[in-house]
Chains A and B, each alone.
Chain A
Amino acid sequence: MQSYESVYRKHRNAVMRFAIQCVGSRDIAEELTAEAFLELHRHWETIDTERLPSWLFTVVKNRAADHWRRTELERRYFASEPSRPEQPHAPVVGYGLFDNQALKPIHRICLTLRYVHDMSLGEIAGRLGLSEVQVKGHLQYARGLLRKQLSGEAGK
């Protein structure tokens, strides 16, 4: 039988990562992770540890829904206007813009967040758990590759 401590150590990273997927912000994901393990603490006597970590993920998902409801309510109060997704005004681009075999997912993510969603280096860094210097490096590398691609296509 596993102890609570060993279960916490075993699943904390997976729960944290899932929470980041659900809310974006690492700070809020940390809160959700704590809440999920608090729920586990409350149900420890009855929980079947075979159901972990999916049970914890469900708690995170429910708490994330609460978070989004609060965010929406807060946004509505501040903006005093009907419900709309926050910051949605990014341009929509089709296939091929960042389509380069040499680009890794991290490069595409940085490019999309920066030039499609207009996020600052700090926001991207916080979102991905990287430093701003790393984000800047990924962007520089990716821009270099795409420039070559664009100039090559233009020369054809």
Chain B
Amino acid sequence: MKNSQFDAEEKEFQREIASALDQLRANVGPCPHPDQLMAAAAGVQFTDADAVGKHSAACPVCRELIRDLSSHEYPSVSDEEDRRIRARLAAATGGRGTPGWWTSWWRPMPVAAAAAVAIILLITGALVLRQPAQRPGDAAKTVEPSRVPPAVARVAFVLEKAAIKVPAAAALVYRGDAESGKNFLNELASALEPYRMDNYTEAARRLDALARKYPEYAAPYYYLGVSRLFLSENEPALAALNTARRLADDSLRDDVSWYLAIALERIGRSEDARREVEGLCGHAGEYQQRACASVKELGR
């Protein structure tokens, strides 16, 4: 049972419905998590999807929850979410932006229309060639006015939540080789709970304690650094990430490097930040596209 912190009035309500709960309780097994219920209902294939589907078919409470959640009006994509999605698109496409009006404009063009357009372009080109040479200052006013929407222009050093990865120590535990590693993983999982919930203050507190207890592991320092970045505590973030770099094996090296670059850029060490992203850009990996887009943007 989780600690959901019921207040006194809620506890009283729970007591009031307890007998009704007991009377109405049906023996169809434990209810899966709502996220799993909804995923199975949406047709997502995952390990327990069949079992979850069978349960919800038999459980009236879960069926009702699925029906109610399916009709729930979730808020639209916010401006902030929209900005982040566009930034991801821009980063993943190497800062080229999204296919603009021109892409769809030429595609369905019939041959005759294409020929007409080509003629117009030729005539226009000829007229342009007859114009006086541009002044240097005019150059920036021309060329590709709308390929990259303003909202996607900023792609460098965008802070996104780092995915939780299984540390290398987990492999040892999984093979049953290290009892102390198992303890560490259990404590790491607990320390990462607030991180999962975007509670970075609590995450930083727990991870800081964990890092002191297990100074030989990189993961606590890494997630501590990322949490501190979300709290805009950039100097402590840098210190944690530097330690993580010293301890990290290959599986975490690029992750640490990316967040180090963000920390360095935030405290004004732009050249060091550039070196980090250039390193990431130089080899294939999860951060390559983002890093190359950052390098490109810094070069503007």
Interface, chain A (partner B; CB < 8 A): 1-5, 8, 12-13, 16-18, 20-27, 30-31, 33-34, 37-38, 41, 44-45, 61, 64-65, 68-69, 72-74, 77-80, 83-98, 105-106, 108-109, 112-120, 122-123, 126-129, 139, 143, 146-147, 150
Contacts and interface: CB of A to CB of B under 8 A. Distances in A.
Contacts of A69: 46-47
A86 B164 CA distance: 16
Interface of B is mostly: helix
B100 A27 contact: no
A1 B68 contact: no
A153 B111 CA distance: 77
Interface of B: 1-2, 4-5, 9-10, 13-14, 16-17, 20-21, 24-36, 38-39, 41-48, 51-52, 59-61, 64-65, 67-72, 74-77, 81-82, 84-85, 88-89, 92-93, 98-101, 103-105, 107-108, 149, 161, 164, 166, 170, 173-174, 182, 185-186, 188-189, 197-198
Contacts, number: 230
Given A25-B35, A78-B170, A92 B2 contact: no
A86 B42 CA distance: 18
Interface centre among B14, B33, B182 (most CB of A within 10 A): B33
Contact of B36 (A38, A65, A85, A150): A85
Given A38-B92, A85-B36, A86-B33, A3 B104 contact: yes
Given A97-B24, A113-B34, A150 B17 contact: yes
B2 A120 contact: yes
Contacts of A1: 104-105, 107-108
